[in-house]
Structure 1
Amino acid sequence: MNEGLFIVPDTGKDERFVDHPYRKGPANIQFYAGASLTTVDGINLGSLCVVDHQPKELNTLQQRMLGILSKQVVHILEFDYSLEVLKSQFLDSKANEIKLRALFESSSACHLLVGRDMDILYFNRTLADFMLDKHGQKMELGAPILNYVGEDFIRSFTLNFTRALSGEKITFEDSLWHDATQIWWQFSFSPAYDAAGAVIGVSYTASDISELKKSQHEDDSKKRALDRIALMQSHNIRGPLSSILGLVDILHRAEVAEVAEEVSMLKQAAEQLDEIIVRLVEQASAKSYGK
């Protein structure tokens, strides 16, 4: 018996099968030959079987052919399994791609993937619409990215692109002019990697932060206004009040009986007013510095 082959020339003469229902029953198996179906990993999938209703022998060539057929069956099964695995991986990859694309397409930020040779590999709809609306340019895959970068940003873009290719992640803010409109941007340059971990290009993101900058400017204006109010309260109001307090103190020390009560009341009122002004100045200063 060859390795991997199991042959029973006559089941009626083999005590293991003489009373087997497959031999005595309707199947009437009088001859059996089987070749194991074993993968390259040593996993036994079963057997490729040949049966007959009459006892017989397999010659050497027939045995070899049965062994070859069993290997072909294993190859076909492994190939079919590999196809299923690849199909599953492809479908998973496609699903992830759809999710990722949907995420980028729904983003309000401009997303761009640039190859090592500065060719456009991907851009989202937000960026495409912006370039068409503000600059009258239709973006195309494979085109040089510098065709779409303004002269006032080429140097910065090229420098940060090169830094990102070396593995560095860069984030900064800057303002650019687009169609006579100044827009504040937050820029991000990050290295893009393939499955093996090699840098294949640069992932670029630009987010419009003009409203945030406007809000910050308004906050700064409010702070300066509060500073002016505090200064006015401190000097323009408290200065004259200090003079009044000084005069009241002189009158109080003079101990003029006819106006002693009025001087005492005036001093008390002036001191209360001074305390109120001090609190107002402190509150204005606290708001000015965000406390």
Structure 2
Amino acid sequence: MPYNDPRRLQAVQRFLQLDINRKAEMQEMVELAASLCDTPVAMITLLDERTEYIRFRRGIEIQELLREDTFSQYLIEEDNLLIIPDALQDPRFAHNKMVLSEPRIRFYAGCSLITHDGYSVGSLCIMGQVSKELAEPQRHLLGMMAKRIVEIMEMEFSLSIVKNQFVKAKDSDYKLQAFLESTGTIHMVIGKEMEVIAFNQNAADFIGKNNKVLMYVGITMAQILDEEHLEDFVVEYQKTMAGDPVFYEREVKHENDSTWWSVALEPGYNADGEIIGIYYNATNITEKKVHEKEMMDKNERLMKIAHIQSHELRKPVASILGLMELFKHCDYTAGREELMVLERATNELDTRIRAIVFLTE
């Protein structure tokens, strides 16, 4: 889609005007991207028709760039993932001022931030002063993190809409359905008596399937949740009603599987600043959690491989090298005992190599 498509620019404006509450989590994404991909610079950006806005950053102080000076202008128009191993060797960037002057970028990798309705509004990108490539797991992780960033932004946008409509909705029987059905997140507006003021179809479907309860306006959370889950919810609800937002990730186990949710409970205020209820929003992050576990398992295997390479391979290799020196001094002749030592060292080396092969499969 062209960078100046009006629908895309409208989507960008939604997020440019958004005051994100979960700034710490967004900054963590930037720090994690730089750390896992071993680059000094990482950014979350939004790109409109003329300007790239750097909303969260590490290793760079620039807050805005003209579109023609950016790398992500090509990402927006062409790719979900754009990797430039060496910007000096790429005719699109060889004369870019970011390349020729500070910060003298050589390596760039960026992943599009694509909204639920298909618009690329910006990027999660990493940069460095040394040319390099990204391994496939790093590319995959960058894509997963970009999806998570969009989930956070869209949830924050949803919350801002609900907050703006809360008082208005209270005066009109809480007619929020048009908004509530617009995103894939579970939404509920809950009143001062823990009654459900409004909910979307995602909430009704999930609660109907897993709690066997038919949702309707006015039903209380005590009627929806079993005793164990109700106790936890009451603690979170009371904290939110006291003015403290609650954010957490939780695994919900079902009969045959489980689902991970990113949950936000935030207080809702009336025009006089009084808390009159809460907004409950939950996003399915099971895919993210599965990927995190895969990455942890892979890192554990890599650590085992590193241990074998740095410790367990040394002994048989040292033995073989020592024996070869001995054979060399003996004009490449050997007795039975030396050959048996060589055999044991070779078998031990073979066992260690097989262990490494097994860990990489």
The CA deviation at 1:133 is 2.4
Counterpart Cα distance in 2 of 1:165 and 1:150: 21
Residue 204 of structure 1: aligned partner: 280
| Amino acid across the alignment from 2:235 | L
Counterpart Cα distance in 2 of 1:152 and 1:244: 63
Among 232, 235, 241, the alignment partner of 1:159 is 235
Q: Aligned pair in 2 of structure 1 residues 100, 117: CA closer, same or farther (>3 Å)?
A: closer
Counterpart Cα distance in 1 of 2:297 and 2:203: 33
Counterpart Cα distance in 1 of 2:272 and 2:241: 16
The CA deviation at 1:180 is 4.2
Residue 45 of structure 1: aligned partner: none
Residue 301 of structure 2: aligned partner: 225
Cα RMSD for the two superposed structures = 3.2
Are residue 195 (structure 1) and residue 271 (structure 2) matched? Answer: yes
CA deviations on 1:174-209 (whole Å, 9 max, x unpaired) are 222234432222221110111222110111112222
| Amino acid across the alignment from 2:276 | I
Residue 79 of structure 1: aligned partner: none
Equivalent positions of 1:202-281 (< 5 A) are 202-249=278-325, 258=331
Equivalent positions of 1:3-18 (< 5 A) are none
Q: Aligned pair in 2 of structure 1 residues 131, 116: CA closer, same or farther (>3 Å)?
A: same
CA deviations on 1:150-187 (whole Å, 9 max, x unpaired) are 33321211001000001101101122223443222222
What secondary structure does 2:302 align onto? helix
| Amino acid across the alignment from 2:213 | Q
What secondary structure does 1:108 align onto? coil
Contact (CA 8 Å) 1:135, 1:179: kept in 2 or not?
no
Among 111, 116, 124, the alignment partner of 2:192 is 116
- Percent same amino acid at aligned positions? 29
The CA deviation at 1:122 is 0.9
Q: Aligned pair in 2 of structure 1 residues 239, 152: CA closer, same or farther (>3 Å)?
A: farther
CA deviations on 1:27-68 (whole Å, 9 max, x unpaired) are xxxxxxxxxxxxxxxxxxxxxxxxxxxxxxxxxxxxxxxxxx
Equivalent residue pairs, number: 167
CA deviations on 1:67-112 (whole Å, 9 max, x unpaired) are xxxxxxxxxxxxxxxxxxxxxxxxxx79xx9996434212222111
Counterpart Cα distance in 1 of 2:242 and 2:206: 29
The CA deviation at 1:239 is 2.1
Q: Aligned pair in 2 of structure 1 residues 229, 124: CA closer, same or farther (>3 Å)?
A: same
Counterpart Cα distance in 1 of 2:308 and 2:272: 66
The CA deviation at 1:130 is 1.3
Residue 122 of structure 2: aligned partner: none
What TM-score, normalized to structure 1?
0.50
| Amino acid across the alignment from 1:163 | K
Residue 180 of structure 2: aligned partner: 104
Residue 205 of structure 2: aligned partner: 129
Are residue 169 (structure 1) and residue 245 (structure 2) matched? Answer: yes
Counterpart Cα distance in 1 of 2:181 and 2:272: 26
User: Where does structure 1 differ by over 6 angstroms across 4 or more consecutive aligned residues?
Assistant: 97-100
Contact (CA 8 Å) 2:207, 2:215: kept in 1 or not?
yes
Contact (CA 8 Å) 1:135, 1:178: kept in 2 or not?
no
Q: Aligned pair in 2 of structure 1 residues 152, 209: CA closer, same or farther (>3 Å)?
A: farther
What secondary structure does 2:181 align onto? helix
Contact (CA 8 Å) 2:177, 2:199: kept in 1 or not?
no
What secondary structure does 1:225 align onto? helix
Are residue 143 (structure 1) and residue 219 (structure 2) matched? Answer: yes
The CA deviation at 1:250 is 5.0
Unmatched tracts of structure 1, length 5 or more: 1-92, 260-283
CA deviations on 1:217-251 (whole Å, 9 max, x unpaired) are 11111112222222333344332111122334556
| Amino acid across the alignment from 1:167 | G
CA deviations on 1:99-139 (whole Å, 9 max, x unpaired) are 96434212222111111111111111110111122333111
What secondary structure does 1:118 align onto? coil
